[in-house]
Each structure stands twice: as C-alpha cells, then as structure tokens.
C-alpha cells in the first residue's frame, strides 16, 4: 500500500482576470486498493468532485481542503477494495487563488489497477 499526494498548481495570467491553467503533479494517478490519496495546494483552498462514481471508501464523491490551513490539504482518502472498482475515475477541481476561482472540469483522473 502506498501514500500519494497530488499537488495542484495554478499558473495565472496576471494581466487578465480569471485566465489561468491548472496543473497537477499526477494528472493520471495509478493507484491500487488500500492506497491512500490526498491533494495539496500551496496557493489556495480547493474542492474536488468525482463525476459518476468514486474509487474511495464510502464512495466519497466530494473532497476539499482545510480552508484555513496553509498549505491547503485534504485528508487522505483510502482506495476501496473490490473488483468492481477497477478503471478510471475522472474528477473536477476548483481552486481559489488571489480571490479568483480556477476550474478544471475534465482532465485529472485516478486510475485503479
């Protein structure tokens, strides 16, 4: 079993309000049942929502950072056990940086192998 931390970073265009790009240390994390996954952002609080289903215990669809602690981090989520869980799980991310909200609604994933 492994512990993974997915870093969230926003590269923003300071000359244009609301324009930026969200990137990750793991854009497609490959994990296994029993692994723990958490997210972290040095720039601001964030929320994550899985689309249709979640690979985590208790089918956790929504994950968010602690709003007042820097760095902003989520509690670790444990990948559930069970053959029906194998596959790709896509999620959306919203992160607040300098009073602006940046969203990525279709790229990152957790792949359970």
CATH number for the domain that contains residue 70? 2.60.40.420
The pLDDT assigned to 70 comes to 87
Residue 77: both structure tokens together: 């989520």
Per-residue pLDDT of the chain (113 residues; tens, 9 = 90+): 899 999 999 987 766 666 788 889 988 999 999 999 999 999 999 999 998 889 999 878 899 998 777 899 999 999 998 867 889 999 999 999 988 899 998 778 999 98
The pLDDT assigned to 42 comes to 94
The pLDDT assigned to 95 comes to 93
What total number of domains does the chain contain?
1
The pLDDT assigned to 47 comes to 95
Q: Are 46 and 54 in contact (CB under 8 A)?
A: no
The pLDDT assigned to 107 comes to 76
Nearest to 17 by CA among 94, 102, 103: 102
Range of the domain at 82: 3-112
Rounded distance, CA 68 to CA 49, Å?
20
Q: What is the largest CA-CA distance in the chain?
A: 49
The pLDDT assigned to 18 comes to 66
The residues pairing with 79 across neighbouring beta strands, listed in sequence order, are 56
């Amino acid at each position: 079993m492994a512990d993974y931390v997915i870093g969230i970073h926003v590269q923003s265009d300071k000359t244009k309000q609301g324009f930026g790009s969200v990137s990750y240390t793991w854009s497609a994390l490959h994990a296994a049942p029993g692994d723990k996954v958490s997210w972290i952002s040095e720039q601001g609080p964030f929320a994550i929502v899985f689309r249709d289903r979640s690979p985590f215990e208790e089918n956790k669809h929504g994950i968010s950072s602690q709003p007042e602690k820097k760095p902003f981090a989520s509690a670790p989520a444990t990948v559930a056990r069970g053959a029906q869980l194998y596959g790709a799980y896509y999620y959306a991310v919203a992160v607040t940086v300098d009073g602006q909200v940046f969203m990525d609604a279709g790229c990152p994933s957790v792949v359970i192998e």
